[in-house]
Chain A
């Protein structure tokens, strides 16, 4: 049997060829993030009307919902890359998981923070131990567990494998967060936007929120790609191509 032809799409699975691609991509995503943020903030503060029940206070939705969505979404993406790295023994996939984790943890903190600042005026409490809030706190601890476990293991590939396991075990928490407002009685309001039903909010509010979600999405992509470049340099620093790349770019 003749050897299988070399498949081209796996070229970017090697850190060496992904490094320059990530360098071009992260600037594109950063510019898109800035553009979406300007548009989203403009709609959030100048176009979207005042809420009938919550007055101006509801505008926290434009930062709270994107942060909470990103915290959940990034966890799934991180676990996905970690799984690919584990199953196919692919260094770059594991590096992507490590690169996403800090940004995901940051968005988890921001969703809890903005949620507290929204809860206080509307519910009268910064924090309640209900299902949605508690499961989001657990999400934050899962990010911390992933980061701490990876930091505690010196050998990067062993750290990748251990981190992948905690990421995959923890992914069960994401649907729990998502459905918590349906499964349990809670102070937290139900979803304003969901698949299969028309959104229960004014059009301009919805657009403001979606623009802000896009801004956060693009920001997270830019941050992850920028961080993975540093991780590649750190881990592959003994390789010749890194020495050449650094000598040229500095």
Chain B
């Protein structure tokens, strides 16, 4: 990368990692929402 490797991979790597983390958080939120919605009405928050 002609001496720019740190800057280029730092940009692409952090972006990829951030989007992967967001995808994981979305999946966790979905799981939580489904579990909560499946609770019986009286124990639902």
Binding site for B on A (CB under 8 A): 50, 55-57, 59-60, 63-64, 67, 102-103, 106, 109-110, 113-114, 117-118, 120-121, 219, 223, 226-227, 229-231, 233-234, 237-238, 242-243, 246-247, 249-250
Q: Is the CB of B7 within 8 A of A117?
A: yes
Whether the Cβ atoms of A55 and B4 lie closer than 8 Å is: yes
18 CB < 8 A contacts A-B? A55-B3, A55-B4, A57-B3, A57-B7, A60-B11, A106-B19, A106-B22, A110-B15, A219-B19, A227-B29, A230-B33, A233-B30, A237-B33, A237-B36, A237-B44, A238-B41, A249-B34, A250-B34
Q: Are A102 and B1 also in contact (CB < 8 A) when A117-B7, A246-B38 are?
A: no
Prevailing SS type, chain A contact patch: helix
Asked whether, in the complex, the Cβ of A67 is within 8 Å of the Cβ of B15, the reply is yes
Q: Which residues on A sit within 8 Å (CB–CB) of B36?
A: 233-234, 237
Docked CA distance A70–B8 (Å): 20
Q: Count the A-B residue pairs with Cβ separation under 8 angstroms: how many?
A: 90
Given known pairs A57-B2, A113-B11, the reply for A247 and B38 (CB within 8 Å) is yes
Instruction: Report the bound CA distance from A114 to B11 in whole Å.
Output: 5
**Measured between C-beta atoms, what is the minimum distance from B39 to chain A in Å?**
8
